[in-house]
Amino acid sequence: MPLSIRPLTPAIGGEVTGIDITKPLKPEEVAAIEAGMDKYAVLVFPGQNLTDEQQMAFTVNFGAIEDARGGNVTKPQDKRLVTGMNDVSNLGKDGKPLARDSRQRLFNIGNMLWHSDSSFRPIPAKYSLLSARVVNKKGGNTEFAHMGAAYEALDDDTKREIEDLVCEHSLMYSRGSLGFLDYTDEEKAMFKPVRQRLVRTHPVTGRKSLYLSSHAGAILGMPMPDARMLLNDLKEHATQPRFVYVHEWKLYDLVIWDNRQTMHRVRRYDDTQPRDMRRTTVAGSAPTVAQAAAE
Ligand SMILES: [Fe+2]
């Protein structure tokens, strides 16, 4: 059976069947997946029982793996997975759910806020690929919102108002909004804010989108309360159900999303029970502030 993609909602998401991604792909399969990503922004591959090595091999079809340093508070000696794999489970190195007061766990709660992966990096991520190795029985859906569809639905005055705005993004803004405020001097330096355009243009499709993320906590040249209110209003607009696909995880699902045109969040789950989700990330190619205005 050849590869085929079935739309999941009118605005966002497609389900891919007819492919085994544990094996090396043919160039035409890679091209079909890239084209599907441009069109649907999120692709679901059910029933792909991957090892970490297979997941990384599949990932590099779409670009280099992003350097994960500077993205969390987990100390190198506490890491559960090999370099190249981002651990978004609730597990410690011993394979057991992290303690309730674990700093690592509390920091990771920030993933329950709407965000775009690595928007806190000067060159943010292209794709994220998430593999479900142990699914939690209660909660833990991941929701994806299409930022291109959300941008297109704005009125013209708002589009004009935000066209050239530049935001500051930092992990300290997203975590700070949850009351996680204690950082070492080393972490403060690591999480220094970076600049991102509020409206970005997709490098392949040319489609404009809102570049929102809970890591965004300030807008250049705008008083902080005005900036936070504008970002909050835009987030409310962009996450209406008509722009959103809700993914209910099944064991061995692999989901890819394009961080250049989506936001996502995980919903709360029973974190006394294991949830083993492993992410690989494809690096982006350019800073958004390098994009010309009004392309
Ligand atoms: Fe994420």
**Residue 244 pLDDT class (50, 70, 90 cuts):** very high
Residue 128 CA to ligand 1 centre (angstroms) = 8
Residue 226 CA to ligand 1 centre (angstroms) = 26
Residue 291 has pLDDT above 80, yes or no: no
pLDDT of residue 295: 41
Residue 291 CA to ligand 1 centre (angstroms) = 23
Residue 42 CA to ligand 1 centre (angstroms) = 13
CA–CA separation, 88 and 73 (whole Å): 13
- Greatest Cα-to-Cα distance within the chain, rounded to the nearest angstrom: 56
Residue 111 CA to ligand 1 centre (angstroms) = 6
Q: CB neighbours (10 Å) of residue 259?
A: 24
CA 75 to chain centre: 22
Contact between residue 260 and residue 126 where contact means Cβ atoms under 8 Å apart: yes
Residue 278 has pLDDT above 90, yes or no: yes
Residue 113 CA to ligand 1 centre (angstroms) = 9
Average pLDDT over residues 87-96: 95
Those residues whose C-beta lies under 8 Å from the C-beta of residue 278, and which sit 6 or more positions away, are 52, 55, 81, 85, 86, 87, 88, 89, 130, 131, 133
Give every strand in the sheet of 254-258, ordered side by side. 4-7, 14-17, 42-45, 254-258, 127-134, 276-281, 86-87
DSSP codes joined into one string, 149-196: HHHHTS-HHHHHHHTT-EEEE-HHHHHHTTT-----HHHHHHT--EEE
Q: Which two tokens stand for residue 162?
A: 């935000």
Residue 158 CA to ligand 1 centre (angstroms) = 27
Residue 184 CA to ligand 1 centre (angstroms) = 23
Average pLDDT in the chain: 96
Percent of the chain past pLDDT 90, that is, above it, reads: 94
Measured in degrees and rounded to the nearest 5, phi and psi for residue 194 equal -120, 160
Residue 116 CA to ligand 1 centre (angstroms) = 6
Residue 294 has pLDDT above 60, yes or no: no
pLDDT in tens, 162-219: 999 999 999 999 999 999 999 999 999 999 999 999 999 999 999 999 999 999 999 9
- Bridge partners of 128? 257, 281
Contact between residue 206 and residue 215 where contact means Cβ atoms under 8 Å apart: no
pLDDT of residue 176: 96
Residue 117 CA to ligand 1 centre (angstroms) = 5
Residue 157 CA to ligand 1 centre (angstroms) = 31
Residue for token pair 């935001």: 167
Residue 110 CA to ligand 1 centre (angstroms) = 9
CA–CA separation, 122 and 119 (whole Å): 8
Residue 221 CA to ligand 1 centre (angstroms) = 28
Residue 121 CA to ligand 1 centre (angstroms) = 13
Which residues sit with Cβ closer than 5 angstroms to ligand 1, an ion? 117
**Residue 70 pLDDT class (50, 70, 90 cuts):** confident
CA atoms within 13 A on the CB side of 211: 32
Contact between residue 201 and residue 207 where contact means Cβ atoms under 8 Å apart: yes
Residue 259 CA to ligand 1 centre (angstroms) = 9
pLDDT of residue 292: 58
pLDDT of residue 23: 97
pLDDT of residue 141: 98
Residue 156 CA to ligand 1 centre (angstroms) = 30
Residue 93 CA to ligand 1 centre (angstroms) = 21
- H helices of 23-86, where? 27-40, 52-59
Residue 2 has pLDDT above 50, yes or no: yes
pLDDT in tens, 38-57: 999 999 999 999 999 999 99
Q: Which two tokens stand for residue 255?
A: 């989901």
pTM over 0.85: yes
**The total number of residues written for the chain in this structure:** 295
